[in-house]
Amino acid sequence: MSHPAGVVAACGCPGSASSVLGGVHVRHHPRCLHSEPRRYVWSYAGTLYTGSLADHGEHFESLDPDARHRVTAAGDELRTWTEHYRLHATTTKTGDHRVLYRLAVTGEWVELLIDTSR
């Protein structure tokens, strides 16, 4: 990814840096100027939505199981003003009728624990 002239790409946070801001895990220290989660636009069933990855997670939770499976398999496209990101979803069954979903894009992720017994 290229950056416009005058924009510093490296913030100085080590690769191991991690914090949770607004429900989104980011690869920055909490006080880093780059730690604010990105805001995205995405489309679902002909409707545009906006928000952070945590907002996308809330939308994901509201979907019926078949729709969640389609999003998990295909991966949504999330866009910012200048970039686009492919959503990667992984699932882990917990054994108690719940599934841990991890929705991730470059440098950010959310984790959702969804009851599948309904």
Question: What burial letters (b/e) apply to 33-60, b meaning 16+ CB within 10 Å?
Answer: eebebbebebeeeeeeeebbbbbbbebb
Burial zone of 108 (CB within 10 Å; 0-12 exposed, 13-18 middle, 19+ buried): buried
pLDDT digits (tens, 9 = 90+) for 64-81: 989 988 888 888 899 999
Instruction: Give me the residue spans of the domains in the chain.
Output: 37-115
- Does the pTM of the predicted model rise above 0.85? no
Predicted pLDDT of residue 5: 37
pLDDT digits (tens, 9 = 90+) for 1-25: 333 433 333 688 887 888 898 999 9
